[in-house]
Amino acid sequence: MRYSTRSVYFLTLLLVVALGVCTACVKSQAPEETHVYSKLRIATVNNPDMVIMEELSKYYTQQTGVEVEFVFFSENDLRNRVIEDLAIGASAFDIVTIGTYDVPFWAENHWIASLEPYFDQMSEADQSTYDRSDFLDYVEPAMTYMDDLYALPFYGETSILYYRTDLFEAAHLTMPDNPTWQDVYRLASQLNLPDSGQYGIILRGKKGWGMNMTVFNTIANAFGGRWYDMNWQAQFDSAEMREALEFYKRILIDGGQPFPENYGYLESLKLMQSGKAAMWYDASIAAGFLEGEDSQIAGNVGYRLAPTYRKEDTGWLWAWVLAIESSSIQKEQAFDFLVWATHTDYTHLVAKEKGWQYVPAGTRKSTYLNPSYREIAPFSDLVLKAIQSVDYETPTIEDVPYTGIQYLSIPRFIELGEQVSQYIADYLAGNLTLDEALALSQDICNRIAEEEGYK
């Protein structure tokens, strides 16, 4: 992974320094002295799992007397809002929800605090009960920078294909055990009955590097595409990227929901829960909500690994994680909440209050060994297999100079991914031709590679 100081993050850091904001919290720093706390503020994404955490935080308040205030943002707005807070030194939040992409860059810029000093302060009994060894293998490496853990995982996910077993049975169709994207296109076209309010497949199309890019990148990887070759020459002008982007639009036209450029994760989840689609390719974390009491299709959902084509094992890998802002004056209490929200006790609390299908998934081995979870979550084995099969270091068929699957682990991917996602959304909406979308993507990829000195 390359860490460039000439990045969007670094530009913001310059502003932080100019304003005299103290953001340093290096690994050798000991926890601050104990204070009297009254409220913790958390900036988080407005996903259903986070809404459950807000509801259940009342139990944390009962235990500690410390109130917890959640401030929700859309995924597209969350990072911008927190970075603005850091830039002006407002210290509006104690805890921030970020993703696995963000952790090394935020840690490098001293925006989040190392958690190691706080783990060192825990008793052996508490450390044993928390049990970091219970994390799935990808977790700690994804949240570590310079050998220090900087965040704790709330939930993790890969991408899987959901399909309606009842609709397939009624149409006398069979979902292959290992579907290709060509299989999915054929089935989506056959099951697309828009006049009856039924769509063949739902795919995210909304602009945003965490929205349409997550889907398109895995399609591109499957088709043999890549963003750059080993010389950091952009590859959007390749035949594979052209085929992938053309396919992405074609499957939506012939089998998908209308106006896909308006659909992100939440919009897609609601549409699938309402029973208006035969298939949906998206995050594995949605599985529990499709089987929940708010879903009209519970009990009629089948699951498959991410569709393939030229490349196998194309599912993405992601986790929403909790970190402590370096500027927080309540780090000890913030760490205490992080432990509470990512502990196995919290898993059992969610199971008790909401049901096992709603527990945070994708982070702990013990979740997938629990008989109660396995009984109520028919998707558990497949999701675990999908997460364990992800090859984060080798996302493409041909060699590339970056890691990451649905994103590139380079500092300026936020800027790059946002801009390319806009071109793709405009292409889906008919505002750009295929040639225009590819050419614009090619140009910005080459420009950023040149500006960063990668070439």
Residue 70, Cβ neighbours under 10 Å: how many?
18
Instruction: Average the pLDDT over 29-47 and give the result.
Output: 71
At 186-235, the pLDDT tens digits run 999 999 999 999 999 999 999 999 999 999 999 999 999 999 999 999 99
Report helix, strand or coil for 258: coil
Does pLDDT of 25 surpass 80?
no
Mean pLDDT of 162-183: 98
Q: Looking at residue 12, what is its pLDDT?
A: 40
- CA distance linking residue 206 with residue 281, whole number of Å: 14
The pLDDT score that the predictor gives to residue 186 is 98
Place of tokens 């530009």: 11
> For the segment 240-257, what is each residue's pLDDT rounded down to a tens digit?
999 999 999 999 999 999
> Average pLDDT of 336-363?
97
Q: Which residues contact 195 (CB under 8 A, 6 or more apart)?
A: none
Tokens of 12: 């913001």
According to the model, what pLDDT value does residue 256 have? 98
Give me the pLDDT at residue 37, please: 54
CA–CA dist 327, 83 (Å, integer): 12
3-state helix, strand, coil in the chain (%, to 5): 45, 15, 40
The answer on pLDDT for 391 being more than 80 is yes
pLDDT over 70 percentage in the chain: 91
Q: What tens digit of pLDDT does each residue of 55-101 get? A: 999 999 999 999 999 999 988 788 888 888 777 766 789 999 999 99
**Over the chain, what is the mean pLDDT?**
91
Percent of the chain with pLDDT over 90: 85
> Per residue in 112-145, pLDDT tens?
999 999 999 999 999 999 999 999 999 999 999 9
Beta bridge pairs of residue 417: none
Q: Report which of residues 290 and 27 the model is more confident about.
A: 290
- For the stretch 264-292, pLDDT in tens is 999 999 999 999 999 999 999 999 999 99
**Distance (Å, whole) CA 10 – CA 138:** 27
Query: What one-character DSSP code corresponds to residue 395?
Result: -
Query: Who has greater pLDDT, 439 or 87?
Result: 439
